C-alpha cells in the first residue's frame, strides 16, 4: 500500500512538473512572438510615417521646390565643411536638415495644415539663421541680419500662437471661446515668451559653453553707479570714449565694448514689433472671418480627413501596395489626362491586391493646390 502510494505521489509530482514546464514553454514562445510582433509594429509605424512625410512634402509644389533646393544646398555645404574638418559646422548642417523636415512632421503628426506661404517662410528662416547666419557669417557681414530674423521670428511665432488659440476656439471637443481681442493678446504674449526663452538660450550658451551668441556692441558713453567717486546711488557718466584698454592692452575698437545687453534688448524690441504686427492682422482676420487676405496665408488650420496622410499610408500598405508606386501611377494618369492633383483619399482606396492599383489610381480625387489665399 505504501509502495503504491509512493508511486502515485511520484507520478503526480512528475505530472505537476511537466505541466509547469509545458506552461513555461508556451509563455517563452508567446513572449518571443510578442516581442517580434512589437518590433514589426514599430517598424510598420516608422515606415508609414516615412511614407506620410513623402506625401506631405509633395503635396504643394511651391513649398516642395523650396525644401528640395535648400536641402541640396545644405548637403553640399555639409560635405564642404566635412572636407575642411570643421565638425561644428557639420553639426549645424545636420541640425538644419532635421529642422527642415519639422514643418512636414508637425503637419503629419498633429493633423494640421500649414499654409504654403507660412511653410516657405519657415524653411527660408531656418536656412537663413543656421546656414547663412552661422556658417556663412552673415551675422558679421550684414549687421542687420540678426535684427531682420528676430523680427520675422516674432511675426511667425505670433502666427503660430494665434492659430493654436483659433483651433481651440473652433474645436467641438474643448469648451474654449475667446474674443478676437483676447486671441490677439494671447498670440502676442506667446510670441514674446518664445523670444524671451530664446534670449535665455543665447545667454546660457555664452556663459556655460563659451559661445558669443549675444553679439557685442561698441558704444561711446557709459553710465554706472559703480563708478561714482562718492559711492552713492548716482550714475557716473563717461562720454566720448574713443579707446578701451584691458590689462594694459588696447582693444582697438574705437569705443567701449558692451557685452550683449544692447543686442538682447534690440532682439526683444524687434520681436515685439513682429508680434504686434501679426496680432493686429489676426485680430481683424477673426473680427471679419474669411476676409483676411494676409492672415490666412500664415494661420494653420486643421487638416481635412482626406488629407490625413498617415492614415492613407497605413491603409495603402495594409492593402499590400507600395505608396510611392501608387502615387507614381496617379501622377502618370493625371499627366495623360492633362489633370492636376495629388494623392489618394483614405475613403477611396481600392480593394487589396496589386491588380487593383490602376483602378485605385483612377479613383483618386483631384487635390487642387490651396486656392486663393494659400497660393504662393
Domain residue spans of the chain: 143-212+260-302, 217-258
- What's the pTM? 0.72
Lowest mean pLDDT among 81-90, 197-206, 239-248: 239-248
HSE on the CB side for 84, CA within 13 Å? 11
Show the cell assigned to 250: 588696447
Mean pLDDT across 54-70: 87
8 Å CB contact between 81 and 90:
yes
Q: What is the pLDDT of residue 286?
A: 84
Give the confidence band of 338 by pLDDT, cuts at 50, 70, 90: low
Task: Report CA torsion sign: 87, 93, 94, 96.
Answer: positive
Q: What is the mean pLDDT of the chain?
A: 78
pLDDT tens by residue, 130-179: 999 999 999 989 989 999 999 999 999 999 999 888 888 776 676 667 88
Show the cell assigned to 216: 557685442
Residue 276 to residues 94, 114, 117, 158: CA-CA distances in angstroms? 33, 21, 20, 8
Per-residue pLDDT at 332 exceeds 80: no
Amino acid at each position: 500500500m505504501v509502495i503504491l502510494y509512493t508511486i502515485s505521489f511520484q507520478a503526480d509530482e512528475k505530472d505537476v512538473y511537466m505541466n509547469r514546464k509545458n506552461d513555461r514553454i508556451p509563455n517563452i514562445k508567446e513572449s518571443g512572438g510578442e516581442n517580434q510582433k512589437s518590433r514589426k509594429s514599430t517598424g510598420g509605424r516608422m515606415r508609414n510615417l516615412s511614407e506620410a512625410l513623402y506625401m506631405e512634402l509633395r503635396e504643394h509644389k511651391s513649398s516642395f521646390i523650396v525644401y528640395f533646393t535648400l536641402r541640396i544646398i545644405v548637403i553640399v555645404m555639409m560635405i564642404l565643411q566635412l572636407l575642411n574638418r570643421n565638425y561644428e559646422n557639420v553639426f549645424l548642417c545636420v541640425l538644419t536638415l532635421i529642422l527642415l523636415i519639422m514643418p512636414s512632421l508637425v503637419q503629419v503628426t498633429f493633423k494640421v495644415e500649414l499654409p504654403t506661404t507660412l511653410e516657405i517662410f519657415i524653411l527660408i528662416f531656418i536656412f537663413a539663421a543656421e546656414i547663412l547666419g552661422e556658417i556663412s557669417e552673415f551675422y558679421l557681414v550684414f549687421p542687420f541680419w540678426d535684427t531682420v530674423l528676430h523680427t520675422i521670428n516674432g511675426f511667425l511665432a505670433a502666427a503660430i500662437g494665434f492659430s493654436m488659440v483659433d483651433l481651440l476656439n473652433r474645436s467641438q471637443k474643448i469648451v474654449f471661446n475667446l474674443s478676437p481681442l483676447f486671441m490677439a493678446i494671447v498670440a502676442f504674449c506667446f510670441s514674446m515668451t518664445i523670444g524671451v526663452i530664446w534670449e535665455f538660450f543665447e545667454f546660457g550658451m555664452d556663459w556655460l559653453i563659451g559661445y558669443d551668441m549675444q553679439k557685442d556692441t561698441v558704444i561711446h558713453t557709459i553710465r554706472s553707479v559703480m563708478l561714482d567717486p562718492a559711492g552713492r546711488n548716482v550714475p557716473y557718466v563717461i562720454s566720448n570714449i574713443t579707446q578701451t584698454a584691458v590689462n594694459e592692452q588696447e582693444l582697438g575698437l574705437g569705443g567701449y565694448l558692451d557685452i550683449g545687453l544692447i543686442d538682447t534688448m534690440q532682439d526683444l524690441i524687434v520681436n515685439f514689433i513682429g508680434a504686434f504686427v501679426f496680432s493686429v492682422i489676426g485680430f481683424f482676420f477673426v473680427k471679419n472671418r474669411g476676409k483676411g487676405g494676409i492672415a490666412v496665408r500664415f494661420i494653420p488650420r486643421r487638416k481635412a480627413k482626406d488629407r490625413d496622410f498617415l492614415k492613407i499610408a497605413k491603409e495603402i500598405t495594409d492593402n499590400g501596395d507600395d505608396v510611392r508606386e501608387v502615387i507614381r501611377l496617379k501622377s502618370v494618369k493625371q499627366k495623360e489626362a492633362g489633370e492636376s492633383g495629388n494623392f489618394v483619399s483614405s475613403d477611396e482606396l481600392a480593394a487589396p491586391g496589386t491588380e487593383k492599383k490602376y483602378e485605385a489610381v483612377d479613383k483618386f480625387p483631384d487635390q487642387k493646390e490651396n486656392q486663393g489665399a494659400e497660393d504662393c
